[in-house]
Amino acid sequence: MKKLKIVLFTLIPFLGLLLLQSACSTFSLKKEVQTQPVLPAFDVSTMDQSIKPGDDFYLYVNGNWIKNNPVPEDRVSIGAFRDVYDMNQNMIETLLQNAAQDLKAHPSSVKGQTGAYFYSGMDSLKIHSLGLEPLIKTQTQVIKTDSPEDIVKTLSWYHRHFISPGFNISFYEDPKNTELVIVHIGQSGLGLPEREYYVGTSERLEEIRNEYVSFLAQIFMAMNYDKIRSTEAAFNVMAIETRLAKASMNIVDRRDPQKTYHKMTLDSLKTLIPNMNWDIYLKGLGLDYSGYYNVHQPEFLKEFNTMLTDVSSQAWYDYFAWNLNDRTAHYLPDSVNELHFNFFSRYLSGQQKMEPRLKRVLNNSNWVLGDMLAQVYVETYFPPEAKNKMTELTANLKTALQHRIEKAEWMTEETRQKALSKLSTMRIKIGYPDKWEDYSGLKLTRDDYFGNYLSILEYNFNIEKKKAGNAPDPEEWFMPAHVVNAYYSPLGNEVVFPAGILLPPFFNLNADDPVNYGGIGVVIGHEMTHGFDDHGRQYDENGILNDWWTDKDGEQFEARAKKLVEQYNQYVVIDTFRINGNLTLGENIADLGGVNVAFDALQLAKKNKKYRNIDGFTPDQRFFLGFAQIWRTNMKDETLIRRVMEDEHSPAHFRVIGPLENVDAFYQAFNIQPGDKMYRPQHERIVIW
């Protein structure tokens, strides 16, 4: 399991780990490994051609699919990403089922480790027979809160397992010296998804806070607190989290890397937080580090410092107990799992029914097993021809972006040359890393799901902490190779496309090029453009946080970005909930750039290859059809509202119509005219890259 750098930009928000119901503890017979399925490049039956493409291209392409695919009770959303995710999960299930039944695999081998983890997760009889014993035993051994020193010792145990009450700790490059990995300290410690849930004044948020306290009381009762103590503990947790939330930086400001950079020595940290014994904390982490720190939110830590002495010992105990329960709920019996599901999934997100244990264990395996699972996945499923095709696509995309930068009329030559230099040094990683993390020292057993999880967390922390004070490894990946996603890292100036996303409809070896350029091509262009969005543009070719723009170019960029903010602010998603154009700006710039760059790359490809019309659509039209189909989504209203509040990505509908309203080639391909709802006059169309 990799801990993602805070500064990574991903294509989609991560699919949450659902805390769902249990099934039987037996396995099916050993499954045959299957190849990737053969699917059509584009299925015209998904379209609603009663809708004009210029009125709503998203519904024109996906309307029939949306009508015919309601969200099942055990999901909060379905769509192209979920289809690929499910396809991937079926492939991973085969690998894990077979690994779990291979009793001859060496315990320290990746097959032995993945098999042990999966077996322990599927053994519901064992999990239920243990009850809350693993939780209570750990809680009793670990949580001590009689003094600030005890609290710090407890805190270090949690952080050593990448559980982050109070604040979080991570290890990656100094944004202003990317040749050095340093220690980062940032705000954390909230049980609800985001700061706004605690400080917002809407009727819905007030209701959520009341429901959250009731839920916490139920959790504590399940942990053998009596009714009075459960209520008291719930209010204790809510009070602590509310104070942390009020001191937290808001979600928009956190996007600004300048606002989250505060270089400090250890002595400075001790001065900032005098009530915390940093020597005890670092010793508890086993962290031998003499370098400097980046404190992302000093004001938050000042409040945490005050809370160390004026929050009661009992309240801290309750808070730590809740954090352990919250992080490990999936590894406990259904009595706890169902409480979490009822609040976070059913109430907050609208999911009415839990998936079976098999699906839950697979969901958790994706990130928890990390490189262990990725190695087996790549060996089995990722064909060399897929990597070769992706290499060709990325080369064309990079050339197309180069041409767009060269032709950007608003840039001065000085800044243009620096932008081109950044693009030329941008690294592309495809499929999987050249070397894997070494997990041979990790001990997992087939009868301790709870313990296996904590062991993996601590093992990963020990891997991460060794990086502090050293040069970063340029070959390291920050996302497992089997995951359905992609990312851009400004610190490494690199884009990464894991093998997991290289499946239809994003990437289809059997598809015509226009559809692939509209799918994975746009994904590639999206990630490349992140290097030049409102956040990524602040990092130079070496990944250093450095203002390499002239004042004039910076002003020109901001003026165009402001127009994009205003465009997206106008989109009403549901009821009174609108897109936050400032929050989603980076992703919206990348979406717009991704479409423009991928379309230009297709035109480059057309010089060397002739494409035919298919299903009555021209190659250029099929590009846009391929683009729109990757965002087809049906989502529960509750989840949609959460996405608007929490997510830096615009909802799927607007990831299609938002960019296309500004793309001249779209107007030409589908003859978009004045009077069409998506029509914007030429002078109002926004062009950044």
Length of the chain as a residue count = 689
Whether the per-residue pLDDT at 7 is higher than 80: the answer is: no
The one-letter amino acid code at 263 reads: K
> Mean of the pLDDT values across residues 516-535?
96
pLDDT at 28: 44
pLDDT at 27: 39
pLDDT at 208: 97
CA distance 115 to 95: 9
Whether the per-residue pLDDT at 453 is higher than 50: the answer is: yes
pLDDT at 1: 47
pTM: 0.90
First to last CA, the chain: 35
Lowest-confidence segment of 205-219, 310-324, 372-386, 583-597 by average pLDDT? 372-386
Question: 223-238: per-residue pLDDT in tens?
Answer: 999 999 999 999 999 9
The one-letter amino acid code at 37 reads: P
Lowest-confidence segment of 3-7, 601-605, 666-670 by average pLDDT? 3-7
Residues contacting residue 203 through CB under 8 Å, at least 6 positions apart: none
Whether the per-residue pLDDT at 3 is higher than 50: the answer is: no
Contact 311, 240 (CB under 8 A): yes
pLDDT at 385: 81
Instruction: Choose among 565, 570, 560, 529: nearest CA to 678.
Output: 570
In whole angstroms, what separates CA 45 from the centre of its chain?
31
CA distance 393 to 395: 5
**Token pair in block for residue 329:** 């709920």
Question: Greatest CA span in the chain, whole angstroms?
Answer: 75
CA distance 557 to 535: 12
> Mean of the pLDDT values across residues 635-647?
94
Whether the per-residue pLDDT at 29 is higher than 80: the answer is: no
Exposed/middle/buried for 201, CB within 10 Å: 0-12, 13-18, 19+? exposed
pLDDT at 386: 80
CA distance 99 to 30: 9
CA distance 563 to 689: 14
pLDDT at 17: 30
**Token pair in block for residue 314:** 């009992």
Whether the per-residue pLDDT at 131 is higher than 70: the answer is: yes
Exposed/middle/buried for 684, CB within 10 Å: 0-12, 13-18, 19+? exposed
| DSSP three-state, residue 137 | helix
- Average pLDDT over the chain, rounded to whole? 93
Instruction: Choose among 581, 596, 578: nearest CA to 661.
Output: 596
β-partners of residue 185 are 169, 295
Instruction: Choose among 454, 687, 667: nearest CA to 593.
Output: 687
Question: 348-358: per-residue pLDDT in tens?
Answer: 999 999 999 99
pLDDT at 39: 75
DSSP 683: G
CA distance 95 to 459: 23
CA distance 419 to 423: 6
Question: 92-118: per-residue pLDDT in tens?
Answer: 999 999 999 999 999 999 999 999 999
Residues contacting residue 638 through CB under 8 Å, at least 6 positions apart: 76, 347, 348, 349, 350
pLDDT at 30: 45
DSSP string, 282-306: HHHHT----S-EEES-HHHHHHHHH
| Residue indicated by tokens 């948020």 | 205
Confidence of residue 35 (pLDDT cuts 50, 70, 90): low
Whether the per-residue pLDDT at 522 is higher than 60: the answer is: yes
| DSSP three-state, residue 666 | helix
Whether the per-residue pLDDT at 21 is higher than 90: the answer is: no
Question: 142-192: per-residue pLDDT in tens?
Answer: 999 999 999 999 999 999 999 999 999 999 999 999 999 999 999 999 999
CA distance 450 to 328: 7
CA distance 159 to 122: 27
CA distance 405 to 567: 23
Prior bond of 433 cis (ω within 30°): no
DSSP 400: H
